[in-house]
Structure 1
Amino acid sequence: MFYTSSYSSPLGEITLASKQNQLIGLWIEGQKYFGELAIADLKYNAHLSVFDLTKKWLDNYFSGKNQTISQLPLAPAGTPFRQKVWDILCKIPYGEVITYGDIAKQIALQNNQAKMSSQAVGGAVGHNPISIIIPCHRVIGANGNLTGYAGGIDKKIKLLEIEGIDTSQFFIPTKGTAL
Structure 2
Amino acid sequence: MPAHDPHAPTASLRTTSPLGPMLLAATEDGLAGVWFVGQRHGPLRHTWPEDARHPVLHEAASQLAAYFASRLRDFDLPLDTRRGTDFQRSVWQALRAIPRGQTLSYAALGRAIGRPEAARAVGAAVGRNPWSIVVPCHRVTGSDGSLTGYAGGLDRKTALLRLEGALH
Using the alignment, how far apart are the partners of 1:134 and 1:165 within structure 2?
16
Aligned to 1:152: 153
Aligned to 1:112: none
Q: Deviations over 1:21-63 (max 9, x none)?
A: 5100000122101127x713x1111111101110111111001
Aligned to 1:73: 78
The runs of 5 or more residues in structure 1 that have no matched partner are: 110-114, 168-179
Match of 1:47 among 53, 59, 63: 53
TM-score by length of 1: 0.83
Q: Deviations over 1:62-109 (max 9, x none)?
A: 01134323x211113211000000000001001110000001112226
Match of 2:37 among 29, 41, 56: 29
Using the alignment, how far apart are the partners of 1:6 and 1:16 within structure 2?
6
Using the alignment, how far apart are the partners of 1:21 and 1:62 within structure 2?
25
The AA in structure 1 aligned to 2:46 is: I
Secondary structure class of the residue paired with 1:87: helix
Using the alignment, how far apart are the partners of 1:32 and 1:163 within structure 2?
23
Using the alignment, how far apart are the partners of 2:29 and 2:16 within structure 1?
21
Residue identity (%): 38
Match of 1:61 among 64, 67, 78: 67
Q: Which runs of 4+ in 1 moved over 3 A?
A: none
Aligned to 1:100: 106
The AA in structure 1 aligned to 2:156 is: K
Report the RMSD for the aligned CA atoms in angstroms. 1.6
The AA in structure 2 aligned to 1:7 is: T
Using the alignment, how far apart are the partners of 1:163 and 1:147 within structure 2?
17
Q: How many positions carry a matched residue from both structures?
A: 159
Using the alignment, how far apart are the partners of 2:58 and 2:72 within structure 1?
18
Using the alignment, how far apart are the partners of 1:31 and 1:12 within structure 2?
11
CA contact (8 A) 2:158 2:167 kept: no
The AA in structure 2 aligned to 1:60 is: A
CA contact (8 A) 1:16 1:25 kept: yes
Using the alignment, how far apart are the partners of 1:64 and 1:80 within structure 2?
33
Quick check: which one's helix share is greater? 1
Secondary structure class of the residue paired with 2:53: coil
The runs of 5 or more residues in structure 2 that have no matched partner are: 1-8
